[in-house]
Amino acid sequence: MSEAILLAPRKGEVIGDSADRRVEILSDGEELHATWSRFGPGREGADLHVHRRHTDLFYVLAGELTVRLGPADETATAQPGMLARVPPLVVHGFRNGSDAELRYLNFHAPGQGFADYLRAVRDGRTLVYDQEEPPADGGRPPAEASIGRGELVADRPGLRVALLADVDEIGICEVTSDPGGPSPPAHVHARHSESFYVLEGELTFVVGEQALAAGPGTWVHVPAGIPHTFELHGAEQVRFLDIHAPGSGFGDFVRALHNARDEDESAAAARARFDQVPA
């Protein structure tokens, strides 16, 4: 994948669409496969399984996600704004255990062919994929999975940043900003991709030579090597997910940046350590 992707709401590649389920592929670069899903009340998801070579993550947009964990099939609930992260070899499954509609984003990092697996299921084909039945030894402890709202890195008037995931495979933060807030300088990542999902408000993404307006429900994916930035336009508060895959030290970068004073030496050092250079 060498070009940026901007998808308006419900414009992803449809895997299935019925009264109680819709699944769309948003992007499928090697480093990250992302999908958007809608499940009706009581809809079953995936049975218990493990992935050996990648991390499985779920961000809840609306409703409640029931996460099944461990060979004992213990359950935990993820509410809107929460991220469930399941490392490799942790037994897990999921369903909509509530009487309301569930909407969520699903990330597989690295992708490991997840999108092709969905396509094969849709088309009635068989495809080998990094997914297995729970192992005889029970896999890694369920406690290694995490469900929550992350680490609050910044919380001041006009800006809130929560670090939802900070592992080698992927870094995710949720940013809430007043309109007209500061924009990052145009930059390039040499070794990882950056993606965005707009939750509220409107952003303008500048990708290469293009300026792209993005409202709620828009997905933007920028592969490595493409200059980009964004601007916070409009009259309403903006809230969005910022996703880096692989993580490339994104968590440390975010912490250092928000602990620094403006663009002082600490901020410059944080940028220098991260996979980010000016465009």
- Reading the block at residue 83, the tokens are 């991220």
DSSP the chain: --S-EEE-TT-SEEEEEETTEEEEEEEEETTEEEEEEEE-TT-B-PPSBB-SS-EEEEEEEES-EEEEETTTTEEEEE-TT-EEEE-TTB-EEEE--SSS-EEEEEEEES-TTHHHHHHHHHHT-----S-BPPPTT--B-GGGSEEES-EEEEEETTEEEEEEEESSS-EEEEEEE-TT---PPPEE-SS-EEEEEEEES-EEEEETTEEEEE-TT-EEEE-TT--EEEE--SSS-EEEEEEEES-TTHHHHHHHHHHS-TTSHHHHHHHHHTT-EE-
Lookup result for tokens 């809107």: 80
- Closest by Cα among 246, 233, 196 to 217: 196
Q: Cis (ω within 30 of 0) for the bond into 88?
A: no
Confidence at residue 257, expressed as pLDDT on a 0 to 100 scale = 85
Question: Buried b / exposed e across 128-160, counting CB within 10 Å, b at 16+?
Answer: ebbbeebeeeebbebeebbbeebeebbeeeeeb
- Reading the block at residue 174, the tokens are 């949720």
* Residues in the chain where the model's pLDDT stays below 50: none
Instruction: Locate the domains of the chain by residue range.
Output: 11-147, 150-278
Confidence at residue 265, expressed as pLDDT on a 0 to 100 scale = 62
Asked whether 225 and 208 are in contact (CB, 8 A), the reply is: no
pLDDT tens readout for residues 119-149: 999 999 999 999 999 999 999 999 999 999 9
Lookup result for tokens 């419900």: 10
CATH superfamily of 150-278: Jelly Rolls (2.60.120.10)
- Closest by Cα among 270, 230, 266 to 250: 270
Same fold, 11-147 and 150-278: yes
How far, in Å, CA of 219 to CA of 217, rounded?
7
CATH number of 11-147: 2.60.120.10
pLDDT tens readout for residues 174-209: 999 998 888 888 999 999 999 999 999 999 999 988
Confidence at residue 88, expressed as pLDDT on a 0 to 100 scale = 98
Asked whether 278 and 227 are in contact (CB, 8 A), the reply is: no
Strands 65-69, 55-62: parallel, antiparallel or unpaired by DSSP? unpaired
